Structure 1
Amino acid sequence: MPSEKFVFQCKECKGNNYVTGKNRQNVRDRLTRKKFCPTCGHHTEHSETRNKTIQSK
């Protein structure tokens, strides 16, 4: 099964900053990472958005 792509959203400013992929068979939980937010200007917690799924080919 190919991995699905998801958008990471900043928890502070709600900006959609990063796109990443994951295999739903291996990782069932929502991903959360601490990444740099260019809108906020510092490292913040980013979480996987539920409604912004991008289908990969």
Structure 2
Amino acid sequence: MASQKVSLACTICGSRNYTVMLSKDRTVRLAVKKYCSHCGQHTLHQQTK
């Protein structure tokens, strides 16, 4: 099974802080609460391409 590299972007400031490897058969966008160094707090990060 192949995987692809995607970025996680902060929903507050829009900066792309993290990259993750996900399988290609994933149909729902990943949304995780992570620390944003630009905002200085834990915010929701969503999958981008």
TM over 0.5: yes
Determine which structure has the larger strand proportion and give its number. Answer: 2
Structure 2 unaligned spans of 5+:
none
- Deviation of 1:24 after TM superposition, in Å, equals 2.0
Runs of 4+ in 1 over 3 A off after TM superposition: none
What count of residue pairs does the alignment treat as equivalent? 49
TM norm structure 1:
0.79
Q: What TM-score, normalized to structure 2?
A: 0.91
Percent of pairs with identical residues: 39
What RMSD in Å do the two structures reach over aligned CA positions?
0.9
Which residue does the alignment assign to 2:3? 3
